[in-house]
């Protein structure tokens, strides 16, 4: 290819240097700023993980209190933002709403969009992390035709999200600590994953100098696809379609058939050629949540477990190192919490916002160039226009 390396899908191209997240796909290791994901899921919480991703270190008690308080300062959205929702059909996919409304935030903060000003970058990061749960819950309430709920700053991040999702002005129920903890853990497990498609999209958009809200909207759009964040929704749709254990073999055969576009959703990963460590924590959380909710013999969980068992012993999946990924069990937990399937990818976007913004900030904090991949041209050589009346 002459002067360029041809690498479709970026199979072997590092697009940047980064100090944020390390993955060893062969060993199934995921570290954020050096800390294993298992420890973060067990001993930390989402906002602490946000601080870590953004700043490089876990916060001290004082720093954590300050960070939480700053986030709480920004949880509300401008009243005018509500009008954007009314432009959508009630049955719009909430990810479509998220792409539009998050991008629209840029129109509200003209005075702090100088990407070369570190304070502007900081306040944009805080605004995005704080407002994503509010906007996500508003998208859900809009689809339900229910009044939108204001954030409550006496609640923690996950509790507040569940409050805005499930409470109504006429009935404010306390948020179950078990469900809030599970929600928080799902946020931690999705917080960052180095240069995946959506993060690379955010970096690429950011490399042109675009504002952070526009960049995050681009990330949301890239995340939506079923090969990426859309997989969590697709897993549940697939489990519904499979229906019962007797049908598993048929679907495994479809997944192996190269003439059939069907793939086993929630299986396989570009980087992990061993178990996705997030999937292990997710499965454990799933067992805990269903246990604490007293849900025994959840048919979809039974089906998922059997599917995993069968796939993991099948030579096709073994040869290709296809294991369950983070999205395989997350949907079962989200469903148990009461979250509708169409909101699953929105929750992924909410949680990944900190990863996107951390990478955007990292890029802008040191010298960078506009991202401008080259191509391998396979079209026509130069030719001349034939007048219209002579074309065949
Ligand atoms: N079901 C059946 N076959 C599969 C699957 C699957 N889920 N995943 C990969 N394969 C096959 C693929 O057909 C190929 O076979 P062959 O070598 O015979 O052509 C081989 O395994 C290698 O796969 P690939 O498509 O070349 O791998 P990739 O790195 O380009 O794609 C992936 C990775 C995640 C897009 C893909 O595994 C997939 O589509 N999985 C299902 C969707 C999914 O669960 N996505 C969530 C990923 S984790 C969360 C996130 O990133 O957002």
Splitting the chain (392 residues) into consecutive groups of 10 residues, what average pLDDT does each group show?
A: 84 96 96 98 98 98 98 98 96 97 96 95 98 98 97 98 98 94 96 98 98 98 95 93 94 95 94 93 91 86 91 94 92 92 97 98 96 94 98 96
pLDDT at site 100: 96
| Alpha carbon distance 106, 213 (integer Å) | 5
Q: List the structure tokens of 191.
A: 């917080």
pLDDT at site 2: 64
pLDDT at site 301: 87
205, 218 Cβ separation under 8 angstroms: yes
Q: Which of 270, 254, 261, 307 is nearest to 195 (CA)?
A: 270
Return the H-helix or E-strand segment holding 21: strand 21-24
Q: How far is the CA of 264 from the centre of ligand 1 (A)?
A: 8
Residues with catalytic roles: 228, 269, 327
For ligand 1, say whether the CB of 267 is within 6 Å of any of its atoms: yes
* Residue 292: alpha-carbon gap to chain centroid: 26
Q: How far is the CA of 225 from the centre of ligand 1 (A)?
A: 13
Q: Residue 36 in 3-state DSSP?
A: strand
Give the angle 45-46-49 at the CA atoms, nearest 5°.
90
Q: Whose CA is nearest to atom 14 of ligand 1?
A: 320
Q: List the structure tokens of 134.
A: 């509010």
Q: Which of 197, 194, 209 is nearest to 371 (CA)?
A: 209
* CA gyration radius, the chain: 22
343, 94 Cβ separation under 8 angstroms: yes
For ligand 1, say whether the CB of 253 is within 6 Å of any of its atoms: no
Q: How far is the CA of 99 from the centre of ligand 1 (A)?
A: 25
Q: Up-side HSE of residue 313: CA atoms within 13 Å toward CB?
A: 6
On the 0-12 / 13-18 / 19+ scale of CB atoms within 10 A, 292 is: middle
Q: Residue 224 in 3-state DSSP?
A: coil
| Alpha carbon distance 159, 138 (integer Å) | 15
Task: Give CA separation, 268 vs 308, 318, 328, in Å.
Answer: 12, 11, 10
Q: Is the dihedral of CA 46, 47, 53, 59 positive or negative?
A: negative
Q: How far is the CA of 211 from the centre of ligand 1 (A)?
A: 32
194, 20 Cβ separation under 8 angstroms: yes
pLDDT at site 297: 82
Mutate to test the pocket of ligand 1, among 95, 202, 268 (most ligand atoms within 8 A of CB): 268
322, 268 Cβ separation under 8 angstroms: yes
For ligand 1, say whether the CB of 101 is within 6 Å of any of its atoms: no
Q: Whose CA is nearest to atom 49 of ligand 1?
A: 228
Atom index in ligand 1 nearest the CA of residue 223 equals 52
For ligand 1, say whether the CB of 307 is within 6 Å of any of its atoms: no
Return the H-helix or E-strand segment holding 347: helix 344-364
For ligand 1, say whether the CB of 199 is within 6 Å of any of its atoms: no
Atom index in ligand 1 nearest the CA of residue 230 equals 52
192, 32 Cβ separation under 8 angstroms: yes
Give the angle 205-209-215 at the CA atoms, nearest 5°.
35
Task: Give CA separation, 54 vs 65, 158, 353, in Å.
Answer: 16, 19, 11
Q: What is the largest CA-CA distance in the chain?
A: 78
Q: How far is the CA of 189 from the centre of ligand 1 (A)?
A: 20
Phi, psi of 79 (to 5 degrees): -55, -35
pLDDT at site 292: 85
């Amino acid at each position: 290819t002459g002067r360029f390396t041809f690498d479709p899908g970026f199979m072997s191209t590092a697009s940047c240097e980064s100090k944020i997240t390390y993955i060893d796909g062969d060993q199934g290791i995921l570290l954020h700023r050096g800390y294993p994901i298992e420890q973060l899921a067990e001993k930390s919480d989402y906002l602490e993980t946000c601080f870590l991703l953004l700043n490089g270190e876990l916060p001290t008690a004082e720093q954590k209190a300050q960070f939480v308080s700053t986030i709480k300062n920004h949880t509300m959205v401008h009243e005018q933002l509500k009008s954007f929702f009314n432009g959508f059909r009630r049955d719009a996919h909430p990810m479509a709403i998220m792409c539009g409304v998050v991008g629209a935030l840029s129109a509200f903060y003209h005075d702090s969009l100088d990407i070369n000003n570190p304070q502007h970058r900081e306040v944009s990061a805080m605004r995005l992390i704080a407002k994503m749960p509010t906007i996500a819950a508003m998208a859900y309430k809009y689809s339900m035709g229910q009044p939108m709920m204001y954030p409550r700053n006496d609640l923690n991040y996950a509790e507040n999200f569940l409050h805005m999702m499930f409470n109504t002005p006429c009935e404010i129920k306390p948020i179950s600590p078990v469900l809030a903890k599970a929600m928080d853990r799902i946020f931690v497990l999705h917080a960052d994953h180095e240069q995946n498609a959506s993060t690379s999209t955010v970096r690429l958009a950011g490399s042109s100098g675009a504002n952070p809200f526009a960049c995050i909207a681009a990330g949301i759009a890239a995340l939506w696809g079923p090969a990426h964040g859309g997989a969590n929704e697709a897993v549940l749709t697939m489990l519904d379609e499979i229906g019962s254990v007797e049908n598993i073999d048929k679907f495994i055969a479809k997944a192996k058939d190269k003439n059939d576009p069907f793939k086993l959703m929630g299986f396989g990963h570009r980087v992990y050629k061993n178990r996705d460590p997030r999937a292990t924590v997710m499965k454990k959380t799933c067992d805990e949540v269903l246990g604490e909710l007293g849900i025994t013999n959840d048919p979809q969980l039974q089906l998922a477990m059997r599917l995993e068992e069968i796939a993991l012993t099948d030579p096709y999946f073994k040869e290709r190192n296809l294991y369950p990924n983070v999205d395989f069990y997350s949907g079962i937990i989200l469903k148990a919490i009461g979250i509708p399937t169409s909101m699953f990818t929105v929750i992924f976007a909410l949680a990944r916002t900190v990863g996107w913004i951390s990478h955007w900030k990292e890029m802008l904090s040191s010298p960078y160039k506009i991202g401008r991949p080259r191509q391998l041209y396979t079209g026509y050589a130069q030719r001349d226009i034939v007048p219209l009346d002579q074309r065949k």
